[in-house]
Chains A and B, each alone.
Chain A
């Protein structure tokens, strides 16, 4: 086993998966902590390991428009960004999804300024929650690689035809080095077939006026595809497990079956929370972890009979943590303690998470690091 493993950062693993998927076009703009992804891809292209046309652009807005222009011709397209870069793409993210283009994006989660901060937070991608992109949050280098391979197959499935954003925590995952196994995907990712690709021999209008009596139908069609994406994701993850031996689910459950209390988190905190659960169990507290991987489409959570400690690495001002809010909206009966932790790369250890569980107060919100009297 150890012979097959290579040490890699999360960034380089995403790039390695993109190389396997062989997109026709990559258009991107560098930004910390994503830079290594597109540096590696540019190297592959320069060295002839990838046949993609690499389009260096002057901004993320242009990166996404170049991706849209390329994707509408029916070819496979990839880009990567982070934080402010993602926000700069915002308008075009809607265009990509609305035009039903299966673009795949590596997105490295980083805080939004000010103050200037390059460390992990989920506010960047969560602020793009409603753009019509599928979103997955990964927690290991292996998972970043595997999710990127699967993203192309899921996005391009004709039941979906929506873009996919693979999110990983800045530095914590983008720059950590872990052993991972490279997989030759073979025909796991079928050739792309975009049914509405531009064809000069069969001209159609693109991006034309869609008046009030039509527009909602396009929107409902997107929602139907999001709903169908649940099944496509399940099929793709099952097929991946069958071929390559690594299993994933929309929500990764750890020791949840008999758990009285469950930590809900995403990304690297969701993985480290497993250590917190082990720790709590050694104290006699029946704890588990639900790590939400696919946020869009939103997954089902098996929360009956369990108290939740939801950790949000994000915040919606004047409301609360985004993930806690989503769970409460979907499961109004959920008994949860809400924790805001990890903003701007704030250190949150498994010991801290264990303490969130021990000191949980159902129905309240707790900001980690803020004195009790100010909460």
Chain B
């Protein structure tokens, strides 16, 4: 089983990203679940969501304690949240940034400027750039699911074709 924890802020679409990730994995013929951790969340507060991908039906409902991967949609949550908590030795980090952010050397770090990509297509809702569709493209490049399934999952969720365009751009731009 591959376990992923997503860090974002309320309103940034982390929960929808989790659903599209699980949906893409299911389209690839795998089993997956997506669940938000519901606390006293509100717009702007740090939140976490979980995705589990496996070859067999997922029977675990408790929170992910030792993720294989963490996804940081909003790097500013790192000011208040220990995003690396429990990340497995050799685990992966994907972060939305255009800067060089240092992480301990035992982790594999990938990044793409999702915010910049969303802004370049003017993909902004209620003043916030859309991060959850470009991240699907970036994660497809990292092999979590196929690019085709990722795009199908986006199409099912959003009608605006720019969501596919930003996913394709992020697929190209993600770097180690």
Contacts and interface: CB of A to CB of B under 8 A. Distances in A.
Interface residues of B, number: 23
Interface stretch (A15-23, A233-241, A342-350, A364-372): A342-350
B62 A179 contact: no
A177 B59 contact: no
B20 to A, nearest CB: 9
Given A2-B26, A7-B26, A177 B61 contact: no
Interface in B24-68: 26-29, 31-36, 38, 57-63, 65
A228 interface: no
Given A5-B26, A171-B38, A179 B31 contact: yes
A340 B36 CA distance: 25
Contacts, number: 62
A347 B34 contact: no
B13 to A, nearest CB: 14
Contacts of A7: 19, 22-23, 26, 34
Nearest to B28: A2
Contacts of B29: 1-2
B26 A272 contact: no
A86 to B, nearest CB: 20
Contacts of B57: 140
A176 B61 contact: yes
B18 interface: yes
B26 A179 contact: yes
Nearest to B34: A177
A332 to B, nearest CB: 32
Contacts of A169: 61
Nearest to A254: B59
Given A175-B38, A179-B31, A350 B22 contact: no
A178 interface: yes
B26 A176 contact: no
Nearest to A347: B62
Nearest to B36: A175
Contacts of B33: 176-178
Contacts of A140: 57
Interface string A251-287: 0000000000000000011011011000000000000
A172 B26 contact: no
A268 B35 contact: no
B61 A268 contact: yes
B95 to A, nearest CB: 24
Interface residues of A, number: 27
Contacts of A2: 26-29
Given A2-B29, A5-B26, A7-B22, A175 B62 contact: no
B25 to A, nearest CB: 9
Interface in A128-144: 140
A269 to B, nearest CB: 8
B34 A176 contact: yes
A155 interface: no
Interface string A207-222: 0000000000000000
A178 B58 contact: yes
A147 interface: no
A178 B28 CA distance: 14
Contact of B61 (A33, A119, A172): A172
B34 A349 contact: no
Contacts of A93: none
B26 A175 contact: no
B38 A347 contact: no
CB-based closest 9 A-B pairs: A349-B62, A268-B61, A176-B35, A177-B34, A179-B26, A7-B23, A172-B61, A177-B19, A178-B33
Interface of B: 18-19, 22-23, 26-29, 31-36, 38, 57-63, 65
Given A7-B34, A350-B62, 9 more contacts: A2-B27, A118-B38, A171-B35, A176-B61, A177-B22, A178-B58, A349-B60, A349-B62, A349-B65
8 contacts: A7-B26, A119-B38, A172-B61, A175-B38, A179-B26, A271-B61, A275-B59, A347-B63
